Structure 1
Amino acid sequence: MAGTAVVAGVGFLWLGMVLAISFLEAPLKFRAPDVTVRIGLGIGRIVFRALNAVEVVLALVVVVASLVGGVPGPVLVAVVAAVVLLVLQLVAIRPVLNRRSDRVLAGETPPRSRAHFGYIAAEVLKVAALAVAGVLALAAL
């Protein structure tokens, strides 16, 4: 029962952070006066590096709570989905985005990358998985 409560609380914390940064801060910073693409990318890299570091910690907490606390199967499936999507973002998508943003920050104008759409798709799916995990965990309490 305690593991399920931890998954609910930490899962919703993780969900809130992703929603606030990915779907609120990230697009809004480019609307601020005098924020160029280079400045926005520089800020975004710092913010997402911090978010991803916190996400890894929260993912570890959720995984340990799930394994030790014996959460119900459907909650575990949603947790695993969120963690797999995070790993996909960090290992496969972020390196591609970082290479492109390195070029932009160096003053180049590389072509747009489709990897950004992959990151957004993974982010939307991760949000859904975290919401499902949290709701199912609360329902199991």
Structure 2
Amino acid sequence: MNPTWAAVAAAAAFVWFGMVLAISFLEAPLKFRAPGVTLRIGLGIGRLVFRALNRAEAVLAGVLVVAVAAGGPAAPVVALTVAAVTLLAVQLAAVRPVLNRRSDRVLAGEDVPRSRAHLVYVACESVKAMTLPALGVALMPV
């Protein structure tokens, strides 16, 4: 793969990985443990934070796709790129809308059961958290 495009793609993969770790696995669970943070407040904050994260992820996914496509990648790089971008697409198109509808109801004061969609989102994040560093390493010159 072209070294310049590989470096751009690797940087995008590692920055994306860092953002997923920081928000999904650190900020999200910790905010509900802070004193005075109710479920409604936590959901309101979470919606804002995850909306921003997902936008940043979409930009990084775009950079990654362009860099990988332009760089003449090997098959493993293509497979890992497709996996990461597909996981994000599933989260944005299928899982987030379900979670948003549930959080709308909670924020409106309804008592609603926990959603399995949250577990699907976490599963996607977990697989992304394994895929992105693997992709970054695959993009690095030997």
TM normalised by structure 1 equals 0.97
2:57 and 2:8 mapped to 1: Cα distance? Answer: 15
Among the aligned pairs, what percent are the same residue? 63
1:100 and 1:79 mapped to 2: Cα distance? Answer: 31
Q: Which amino acid aligns with 2:118?
A: H
2:14 and 2:78 mapped to 1: Cα distance? Answer: 15
| Mapped contact 1:75–1:132 kept (Cα < 8 A) | no
The aligned length equals 140
Task: Tell me by how many angstroms 1:122 deviates.
Answer: 0.5
Q: Which residue of 1 aligns with 2:66?
A: 64
What are the ranges of 5 or more consecutive residues in structure 1 without an aligned counterpart? none
2:73 and 2:4 mapped to 1: Cα distance? Answer: 9
Q: Which residue of 1 aligns with 2:107?
A: 105
| Mapped contact 1:4–1:70 kept (Cα < 8 A) | no
TM normalised by structure 2 equals 0.96
1:109 and 1:91 mapped to 2: Cα distance? Answer: 25
Q: Which amino acid aligns with 1:8?
A: A
1:105 and 1:122 mapped to 2: Cα distance? Answer: 25
Task: Tell me by how many angstroms 1:73 deviates.
Answer: 1.7
1:82 and 1:103 mapped to 2: Cα distance? Answer: 30
What are the ranges of 5 or more consecutive residues in structure 2 without an aligned counterpart? none
Q: Which residue of 2 aligns with 1:4?
A: 6
Task: Tell me by how many angstroms 1:54 deviates.
Answer: 0.5
Runs of 4+ in 1 over 2 A off after TM superposition: none
